[in-house]
């Protein structure tokens, strides 16, 4: 089964991870612009980071047969540094239209401060102006309120819920997100956000409509095979293949494909080597090879269950 | 004679279909006094979305017009969006020196954009002011970016000093970029390059690796230079068959 990991911070991962993801069936992933583990203190370092995720990282992923997309945004933590935030906002319009940018994100709230609110709204306005989907990061603390607030603000700013993915959901938030018409992302993240066994229970309860599974793998304790292991566990637990394909592949493509920057043909029939688009080195999926999900990752990743 | 900018505008307008009014409106905005860099950035971002990424697919007559407008200009492998980006940059009248605008764009460009920016090199004002920028492109990790400068582009032939020229050729061999499409390859052959290439060939042989035959025509004209002669004699004594290439 082909998989998409629509939330993966590959800039902090190794080539082993790319190999393991490709072996597990990941054909495409999305790298959302986010915090690097410590705050950036100069606009310039933020700019070079954005350049890296639209540039080199895209190429690096291609070397392992994985199509790389990204989202562009000012994250909520760094929105609290007003000088930095003002600077970054000036650069976003030129990055948001780069090739392979599928959304403005990940944006939203962390501490739910006034500055976070200001820059969230400004970025929603930009997304509307240039007609891109939005990826919303919901806060770790006071999550339920922060999630509701994020959707309230999206609606106030005139965004269509079908253009917004609310990410990092759990059992407490999913009902409202789906009821209000948004895409609901789940980050399979060991011990903190959402384990894959819990996710399987949610799939049994809610089915597949507008539900998206991602790994949110980054520089912390996380698993780049979160999507693959969830897919496998779900299939073994009796969830239908159709549901698994929707939540681990089809829905992400439908949601972020609204950008016009992400199409199935990108990985099913990649163009021949093309100097303009850099598909060179992308050989793993050529020749009709169907990736298999049963293939194990590295020896470090034996277990199916994450939590 | 028609300028390269006018040619680009004509070619792109003819291929823009329903987007032609958008294109003309954007170009007028960029050319007007007071145009902002934000307008330029958004135009560069929207170019592939509005116009598509098809090949520019110039006819032989159009290619001849290009060469007449700027000797050596070979936009035969340009794309429609890439051409529009170069045209946008040529149309924009900012307050800053061209090289500063270019540097700013290059620092934040995605791969396709960077390739377009570098393919436009032979058309820009103040070409000498772009040396640093061209150096950055040649150092790129991305082979197609290197090739946007090295292949079918008269800028290196016209503006590189011998050191930079020679290292571009050597890097092309290292990364597997073809030498054939380098504009001015034979005209700019030089004894120092021939010496470097023979040395390079010896290192490859020592490592048991093949040597690209493409380099021998650059060595041949200098085969009687004593240092090169000595190296070639050694290669011959070691059983390397190179006569047919060097002759
Ligand atoms: Zn994230």
C-beta separation of A179 from A185 below 8 A: no
Q: Which residues of A touch B41 (CB under 8 A)?
A: 93-94, 97
Q: Which residues of B touch A91 (CB under 8 A)?
A: 108
Query: Which three-class secondary structure state does DSSP give residue A194?
Result: strand
Give A306's contacts (C-beta < 8 A, 6+ positions apart): A188, A190, A195, A196, A197, A223, A226, A229, A230
* A263 or A296, greater pLDDT: A263
Which of B101, B112, B150 to probe the A interface (max A CBs under 10 A)? Answer: B112
Quick one: DSSP state of residue A248? I
Omega before residue A106 within 30° of 0, cis:
yes
Query: Which three-class secondary structure state does DSSP give residue B117?
Result: helix
Res. A301: pLDDT tops 60:
no
Is A277 an 8 Å CB contact of chain B?
yes
pLDDT at A137: 97
Is B131 an 8 Å CB contact of chain A?
no
Is B147 an 8 Å CB contact of chain A?
yes
Helix-helix angle B37-51:B80-91, to 10 degrees:
160
Is A155 an 8 Å CB contact of chain B?
no
C-beta separation of A65 from A98 below 8 A: no
How many pairs of residues across A and B have Cβ atoms under 8 Å apart? 71
Place of tokens 């093949």: B210
Q: How far is B233 from chain A, CA to nearest CA, in Å?
A: 39
CA distance A155 to A145: 15
Write the burial class of residue A304 (CB in 10 Å: 0-12 exposed, 13-18 middle, 19+ buried): middle
pLDDT at B245: 65
The rounded Å distance from CA A9 to ligand 1 centre is 7
State the average pLDDT over residues A269-280: 62
C-beta separation of A279 from A207 below 8 A: no
Quick one: DSSP state of residue B92? -
Task: Grade residue B231 by pLDDT with cuts at 50, 70 and 90.
Answer: confident
Q: Which of B198, B235, B239 is nearest to B219 (CA)?
A: B198
Res. A46: pLDDT tops 70:
yes
Element (H, E) at A104: strand A101-108
Query: Which three-class secondary structure state does DSSP give residue A66?
Result: coil
* pLDDT cut 90: percent of chain B above it: 77
Res. A304: pLDDT tops 80:
no
Is B143 an 8 Å CB contact of chain A?
yes
pLDDT at A293: 43
C-beta separation of B97 from B132 below 8 A: no
Q: Which of A150, A2, A124, A5 is nearest to A70 (CA)?
A: A5
Give B134's contacts (C-beta < 8 A, 6+ positions apart): B118, B121, B149, B155, B156, B159
ipTM value > 0.85: no
**pLDDT single digits (tens) B178-219:** 999 999 999 999 999 999 999 899 888 888 888 888 899 999
Share in percent of chain A as helix, strand, coil (round to 5): 45, 15, 40
Give A221's contacts (C-beta < 8 A, 6+ positions apart): A190, A191
Compute the mean pLDDT over every residue in chain B, rounded to the nearest whole number: 93
Element (H, E) at A72: strand A67-72
CA distance B237 to B243: 12
Q: Which residues of B touch A47 (CB under 8 A)?
A: 107-108
Q: Which residues of A touch B113 (CB under 8 A)?
A: 98-99
State the average pLDDT over residues B54-73: 96
How far, in Å, are A6, A109, A266, A272, B143 from residue A286 at the CA level?
Answer: 22, 41, 11, 10, 21
**How many helices and strands (H and E) does chain A possess?**
13, 8
Strands of the sheet with A3-5, listed across from one edge: A3-5, A26-32, A67-72, A101-108, A134-137, A164-167, A183-187, A211-214
Number of Cβ within 10 Å of residue A47's Cβ equals 19
pLDDT at A294: 41
Interface touch B45/A94, C-beta < 8 Å: yes
Chain centroid, CA A172 distance in Å: 21
Element (H, E) at B22: helix B20-31
How far, in Å, are A223, A268, B58, B59 from residue B64 at the CA level?
Answer: 56, 38, 10, 9
Q: How far is B43 from chain A, CA to nearest CA, in Å?
A: 9
Res. B64: pLDDT tops 80:
yes
Q: Provide φ and ψ at A3, rounded to 5°.
A: -125, 150
State the average pLDDT over residues A55-70: 93
Chain A CA closest to residue B111: A55
Interface touch B113/A275, C-beta < 8 Å: no
Give B201's contacts (C-beta < 8 A, 6+ positions apart): B211, B215, B235
Give A193's contacts (C-beta < 8 A, 6+ positions apart): A168, A170, A186, A187, A216
Chain B CA closest to residue A93: B42
Most confidently modeled of A232-236, A277-281, B213-217? A232-236
**Structure tokens given for A234:** 């779900």
pLDDT at B20: 98
Q: Which residues of B touch A260 (CB under 8 A)?
A: 49
State the average pLDDT over residues B158-174: 94
Task: Grade residue A140 by pLDDT with cuts at 50, 70 and 90.
Answer: confident
Interface touch A99/B112, C-beta < 8 Å: yes
CA distance B39 to B37: 5
Interface touch B143/A280, C-beta < 8 Å: yes
The rounded Å distance from CA A157 to ligand 1 centre is 23
Q: Which residues of A touch B144 (CB under 8 A)?
A: 275-276, 278, 280
Q: Which among B46, B79, B107 is the nearest to A51, CB-wise? A: B107
Q: Provide φ and ψ at B140, rounded to 5°.
A: -60, 150
CA distance A51 to B106: 10
Is A270 an 8 Å CB contact of chain B?
no
Compute the mean pLDDT over every residue in chain A, rounded to the nearest whole number: 89
Interface touch A93/B42, C-beta < 8 Å: yes
Interface touch A51/B49, C-beta < 8 Å: no
Query: Which three-class secondary structure state does DSSP give residue A28?
Result: strand
C-beta separation of B96 from B11 below 8 A: no
Q: How far is B64 from chain A, CA to nearest CA, in Å?
A: 23
State the average pLDDT over residues A123-147: 95
Interface touch B110/A100, C-beta < 8 Å: yes
Give A65's contacts (C-beta < 8 A, 6+ positions apart): A22, A27, A282, A283, A284, A285
Q: How far is A60 from chain B, CA to nearest CA, in Å?
A: 10
Interface touch B141/A59, C-beta < 8 Å: yes
Task: Grade residue A296 by pLDDT with cuts at 50, 70 and 90.
Answer: very low
The rounded Å distance from CA A77 to ligand 1 centre is 12
pLDDT at A295: 42
The rounded Å distance from CA B170 to ligand 1 centre is 42
pLDDT at A285: 32
pLDDT at A276: 60
pLDDT at A269: 83
Q: Which residues of B touch A278 (CB under 8 A)?
A: 111-112, 142, 144
pLDDT at B212: 87
């Amino acid at each position: 089964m082909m998989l998409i990991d629509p939330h993966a911070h590959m800039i902090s991962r190794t080539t082993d991870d790319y190999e393991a993801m490709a072996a597990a069936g990941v054909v495409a992933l999305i790298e959302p612009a986010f915090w690097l583990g410590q705050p950036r203190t100069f606009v310039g370092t933020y700019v070079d980071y954005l350049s890296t995720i639209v540039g080199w990282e895209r190429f690096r992923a291609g070397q392992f047969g994985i199509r790389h997309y990204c989202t562009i945004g000012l994250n909520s933590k760094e929105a609290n540094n007003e000088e930095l935030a003002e600077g970054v906002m000036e650069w976003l319009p030129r990055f948001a239209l780069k090739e392979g940018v599928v959304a403005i994100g990940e944006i939203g709230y962390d501490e739910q401060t006034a500055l976070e609110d200001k820059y969230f709204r400004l970025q929603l306005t930009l997304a509307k102006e240039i007609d891109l989907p939005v990826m919303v990061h919901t806060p770790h603390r006071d999550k339920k309120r922060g999630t509701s607030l994020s959707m309230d603000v999206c609606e106030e700013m005139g965004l269509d819920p079908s253009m917004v993915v609310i990410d990092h959901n759990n059992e407490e938030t999913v009902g409202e997100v789906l009821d209000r018409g948004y895409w609901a992302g789940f980050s399979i993240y060991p011990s903190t956000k959402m384990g894959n066994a819990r996710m399987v229970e949610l799939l049994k309860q809610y089915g597949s409509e507008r539900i998206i599974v991602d790994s949110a793998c980054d520089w912390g304790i996380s698993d780049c095979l979160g999507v693959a292991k969830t897919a496998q566990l779900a299939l073994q637990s009796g969830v239908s293949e159709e549901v698994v394909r929707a939540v681990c592949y089809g829905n992400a493509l439908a949601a972020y494909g609204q950008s016009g920057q992400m199409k199935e043909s990108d990985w099913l029939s990649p163009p021949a080597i093309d100097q303009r688009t850099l598909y060179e080195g992308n050989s793993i999926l050529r020749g009709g090879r169907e990736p298999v999900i049963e293939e194990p990752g590295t020896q470090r990743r034996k277990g199916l269950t994450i939590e | 004679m028609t300028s390269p900018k006018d040619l680009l505008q004509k070619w792109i307008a003819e291929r823009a279909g329903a987007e032609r009014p958008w294109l003309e409106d954007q170009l007028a905005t960029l050319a007007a006094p007071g145009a902002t860099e934000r307008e330029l950035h958004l135009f560069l971002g929207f170019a592939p979305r509005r116009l598509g990424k098809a090949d520019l697919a110039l006819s032989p007559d159009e290619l001849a017009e290009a060469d007449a407008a700027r000797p050596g200009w070979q936009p035969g492998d340009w794309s429609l969006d890439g051409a529009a980006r170069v045209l946008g940059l040529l149309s924009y009248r900012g307050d800053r020196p061209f090289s500063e605008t270019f540097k700013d764009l290059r620092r934040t460009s995605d791969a396709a954009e960077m390739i377009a920016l570098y393919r436009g090199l032979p058309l820009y004002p103040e070409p000498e002011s772009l040396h640093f920028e061209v150096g950055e492109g040649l150092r790129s990790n991305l082979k197609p970016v290197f090739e946007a400068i090295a292949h079918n582009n008269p800028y290196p032939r016209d503006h590189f000093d011998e050191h930079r020229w020679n290292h571009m050729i050597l890097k092309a061999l290292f990364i597997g970029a073809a030498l054939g499409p380098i504009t001015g390859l034979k005209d700019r052959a030089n004894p120092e390059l021939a010496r470097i290439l023979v040395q390079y060939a010896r290192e490859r042989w020592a490592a048991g690796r093949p040597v690209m035959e493409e380099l021998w025509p650059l060595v041949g004209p200098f085969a009687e230079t004593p240092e090169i002669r000595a190296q070639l004699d050694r290669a011959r004594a070691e059983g390397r068959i190179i006569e047919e290439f060097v002759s």
